Amino acid sequence: MGTKNKAPIRWGFCYTYPYMHYLVILGAAANIVGTSFYIRDTFRGTTKPNRVTWLLWSVIPFIAFAAELAAGVRWATLPVFAAGFTPFMVLCASFFNRNSYWKLGTLDYLCGLLSIIAIVLWQLTGEPSVAIGFAILADTLATVPTYVKTWSYPETESSATYFGGVFSAATGMIVLPSFTFNGLAFLVYAASTCLILIFLIYRKRIASSFGA
């Protein structure tokens, strides 16, 4: 008695609910709205983005977006695209107000250089999984200067864009047709990065509320 070939298991909600991709559009919109508040604060000079971080944040997700498309990921890549488009807008905004410019130091340039090296290695590999791994490494190195800045000067950051980033990444995870490294890796990383930055922005207020 023959056996039928079983279809691969699909865990994503969009496999059951075909209109769930609209949730991804909502997530990307939330990211853009959150970033609009960051841009507003940048114009005012109250938020001071680190240009090394935001430049590389605009480049890296675009490359990850292309790598995920090559790996067969579709609607779930929209948050990754938004993660590149919104930093580009912030980078442009930082040139309109001299008071919004964060002075760069040795650490910023070093992390930027190492991030660029990781990007080059990323492009030299033809394996999507390895490419996404290098993308995460490059993005981590690009984020270090902003981690350091936010730890010491949390008032120079605005949390709205990071809350939008968490929501956007979460919607991307929800609509994945199956949970694979290629589909999940950058989304999980992006959400984790935003959560860390949110904590760094509010850590002094959290500590003071507990009497620390």
In contact, 177 and 14? CB cutoff 8 Å: yes
Name the more confident of 14 and 47. Answer: 47
Q: What pLDDT band is residue 188 in, cutting at 50, 70 and 90?
A: very high
In contact, 18 and 175? CB cutoff 8 Å: no
Distance CA 137, CA 139 (A): 5
Distance CA 108, CA 97 (A): 20
Quick one: what percent of the chain has pLDDT higher than 70? Answer: 84
Where in the chain are the domains? 16-205
Quick one: what percent of the chain has pLDDT higher than 90? Answer: 23
